[in-house]
Amino acid sequence: MRGKTVIVTGANSGMGLATTVELARRGAHVVMLCRNEERGRTAWEKAVQQSGSDRLEMMLCDLGSQESIRRLAAQVKDRHSVIDVLVNNAGVVSLKRELTAHGFESHLGINHLGHFLLTNLLLESLTRAEEGRIVNVSSGIYKIGKIHWEDPTLTRGYNVAKGYAQSKLANVLFTKQLARRLEGTRVTANCLHPGAVATNIGVDRNTGFGKSLVGLLRPFFLTAEEGAETAVYLASSPEVKGITGQYFYKKKAQPVVAKAEDPEAARRLWEWSERQVGLSD
């Protein structure tokens, strides 16, 4: 990875931080995208210490704000003409229904639409790489997910599993359609299930609610470092050169259920997403 530029979203904690540290250890210049400046600065210091690398950069980006994403993308392109790897790792789990600044249900708005916009804005820089890679962190919960076309913001019958699963199915469909659209380029796109990882993803950022539950369950779950292994593999391994449009678990490509392989659903989601983030004509 020496000489390569990598962007990791949600890099301030959990798998994002673990992915950052490992790729920095391997010689990459890692741009850590963080929502909060104070937490981001603390994570940057930790990453420098743990990786032993000085090739780490922290930049602010709120994936729930399209203005923030556009501003960040412009800053990245000013600093880095070539991006070798984009790891779309950031994710939220919200026990109650919450909306982004643009009125999207937070799971779909951040986990999918935020990364959809960021990826599209950075595609030109990725195509300049000798071997560009896009790595989307999904989850096995996509199997129970459904794209609620008539009510994507889940105004009726919201629950956390419904919201999270919809966003994770969207991650897989996005990856499949992105890979199709990138045919003929040097850029690949793959997604992954990290396994059951004990992170703070479900902890309320404002109240801290959920910390005690995470603490109780931690012994039964993977560590952040273990959960990051497949993302690091997809970002760096020569074994996956040229492989695209696949869903990985434990560093192995796995088949997906039929609804995640549906090209019409993937196309429809792409076109809907373009309209929501202002990328369509």
Helix segments in the chain, DSSP class H? 14-25, 37-51, 66-79, 106, 115-127, 160-181, 211-217, 224-227, 229-236, 263-277
Going by C-alpha positions, the residue among 57, 59, 53, 58 that lies closest to residue 26 is 53
Rounded Cα gap, residues 150 and 68, in angstroms: 28
Choice among 164, 233, 247, 249 that is catalytic? 164
The amino acid at 139: S
Counting every residue, how long is the chain?
A: 281
Token pair of 173 as six digits: 């469909």
Sign of the alpha-carbon torsion through 79, 229, 196, 166:
positive
Active-site residue flag, 164: yes
**Residues tagged active-site:** 164
